Amino acid sequence: MKSLKWIQAIALMLMVVMIVAACGNKSGGSDKEAAVKITLLNSKGEIQSQLEDAAKAFKEDNPNITVEIIPVPSGQSPFEKASALYASGNPATITMLDTGDVEKFKDRVLDLSGEKWMADTVDRSTALTTFDGKNYAFPLAIEGYGFIYNKAVVDQAVGGTFDPASINTTNALEQLFQKIEASGKAPLIISPMDWSLGAHYLPLAYAGQSADTEAVAKFVNYLKAGTVDLASNNVFNGLLDTFDVMTKYNIDKASPLSGTYERGPEVLGKGEVGIWFQGNWAWPQISSFDTANGQYGFLPVPISNNPSDFGNTQISSAVSKRLVLDKEKNTAEQQAAGKKFLEWMVYSEKGQDFLVNKANIIPAFKNITLEAKDPLAKSISEYIANGKTEDSMSTLPADHWAKIGASMQKYLAGAGDRAVLTKEIQEYWKTVK
């Protein structure tokens, strides 16, 4: 009996030691004095493994800094995960946020205005994260969207080499659809996800109001105030006219809402359809079905029949992901290490290689001259280089995509006409605080 008591006592002690040791992980690794461990919350799921490789490459250059990449679980929004980490007092050193969320975190993250890379950022890439003259976020990736075309299919349809610049009006687009149909293929696929329709397609109506971003911001404010009459707005109606044309030639028009995201890259890549409305992030999925030798590109979404109208030749693009550095719970060393990682991505060869070649990111820095390998990023980069871009709406209210996406689905399925859609959009904006 006595020995049993001993065992119990030892077991208890072991447990206590283990618990204490587990709680005290911050003091671990004390043999290397300068070792710093930082964390990066990644909300761009498709580049998780590339980021992990980048962390290893970064460690080769900076042996005393370990970067751990934490993924945001699929289905959770970056904001949700980041705010949960803050609520538990354990925020990541570097957090990847969507542009519109940065403002909410501005009291908790570092002012990055004094960083070296600020001088090399492309135009307007930090404007949306600058508050009171201070920039709080690192622009990580530019993303763009529009009509992705499969060159093999459209070449065959037009009988020769397809010129993307020829599609600059709704009528021209419809003629292209007719030609594709005549060649025996389906013209296009509309993926009916609420985020695609609500966060990408419909916001073109706001962004297309004017080439001047100030005027667009004003338009959004008028929407909130309820003083915009969308029913008589030309850009809005033009965009929906194009949508009506799209609906007419949609491969899934018998049951427009049954499609899934995965179906889009499959039918486009296999050449069953000529065109898909989506963005450059879809390349990894398209490439796994590719039958056009990697020949794809973007067409703008036309909003009228006048080729010179703004939006008819411009592709929608913007910085979509930003990195912020926590200043509340991370030590000064960790913050410095975080800054070093950002600089490493912009200025080191390995960092640039990671951004452009490994992660297929379109960087927002002028000094990076590496050419994108993937055709979609390349196409977007060309539009940017030619100044043919329209800023995507990246600071819309957080529930805009879900609410407006549902209204757009209703319109797509024919369960509500344009008057219903217009009313729902205007009603939605009135509820925005």
Partner 1 sequence: MITEKGLWNRLRLRLLFTGPTLFAFLAVMIIPFLYGIYLTFTNWDGISTSSSMVGFDNYLSVFKDTVFWKTFLLTLEYVFISVVLINIVAFLLAYILTSGLKGQSIFRAGFFIPNLVGGIVLGFVWQFIFSNVIVFVGKEMSIPLFSNSWLADPTKAFWAMIIVTVWQYAGYMMVIYVAGLMNVPKDILEAASIDGASLWTKMRKMTLPLMVPSFIVCIFLSLQRCFMVYDLNISLTKGGPFKSTEMVSMHVYEKAFLSRDYGVGQAEAFVLFLLVATITIAQVYFSKKLEVEA
Query: Which residues contact partner 1 (rule: CB under 8 A)?
Result: 75, 77, 79-80, 82-83, 86, 104-105, 107-108, 194, 254-258, 260, 397-399, 402, 406-407, 409-410, 413, 415
Tokens 């890549």 locate to 269
CB of 407 to partner 1, least distance (A): 7
Q: 117: which strand partners?
A: none
CB of 41 within 8 A of CB of 12?
no
| Closest to partner 1 by CB, 250 or 389 | 250
CB of 192 within 8 A of CB of 414?
no
| Closest to partner 1 by CB, 60 or 107 | 107
| Residue 162 to residues 121, 301, 315, 388, Cα–Cα distance (Å) | 34, 17, 18, 19
CB of 319 within 8 A of CB of 140?
yes
| Closest to partner 1 by CB, 329 or 410 | 410
Tokens 């100030």 locate to 214
| Closest to partner 1 by CB, 193 or 228 | 193
Nearest to 275 by CA among 195, 199, 180: 180
Q: Which residues of 1-31 are buried (b: 16+ CB within 10 A; e: fewer)?
A: eeeeeeeeeeeeeeeeeeeeeeeeeeeeeee
Instruction: Provide the sign of the torsion angle of the four alpha carbons 71, 72, 73, 74, taken in this order.
Output: negative
β-strands 389-391, 315-325: how paired? Answer: parallel
Residue 334: strand, helix, or coil: helix
Whole-angstrom distance, CA of residue 232 vs CA of residue 228: 9
β-strands 138-150, 296-299: how paired? Answer: antiparallel
| Closest to partner 1 by CB, 13 or 257 | 257
| Closest to partner 1 by CB, 336 or 432 | 432
CB of 413 to partner 1, least distance (A): 6
| Closest to partner 1 by CB, 102 or 235 | 102
| Closest to partner 1 by CB, 136 or 147 | 136
CB of 219 to partner 1, least distance (A): 22
